[in-house]
Chains A and B, each alone.
Chain A
């Protein structure tokens, strides 16, 4: 079975631009979460979606937004990019949201801001 897939794998943008990152969850998983991981740190929670509804949001500015589609895939959008947005963006899926089930991660999108 395919795991969590993310696209693109690498992306280079300049300050002020916007970016859209995509995630396809494991088949049958209805919950998708997004994380930002800066080098040397653990992943930081950005959003969780379950059944197309936002269930949780971390301490990120409104420049960050996301949505989940009827097929449970998801997009993360970041507007007005800053140098500090350079990071690995991880998507994780689980069967349900808000439960104690483990999340399964994709290999991320490496975003570099010049």
Chain B
């Protein structure tokens, strides 16, 4: 079973920051938080991951709370092409590193 909880849908205005929350209150010390997104008719695409420190790359920023029970994915300047389902995943390497997906958040970026 997925170890994360996300809102089913969110809207964001084009050009504004999109902040996608995720709760993972049962996360263990050795489990990473991964974010993937899936655009219609494509396979999931890696965005970013982290353990306990905040992370930033060319696509997004990941903010993880100090107690690691929740995190936020930030798309700093959302575009129409960012419309997708965003999955927050807790990855457990004791289970071979497989990703267990939940339902995700459907983000709609509107002009």
A and B form one complex: no
Interface residues of A (CB under 8 A from B): none
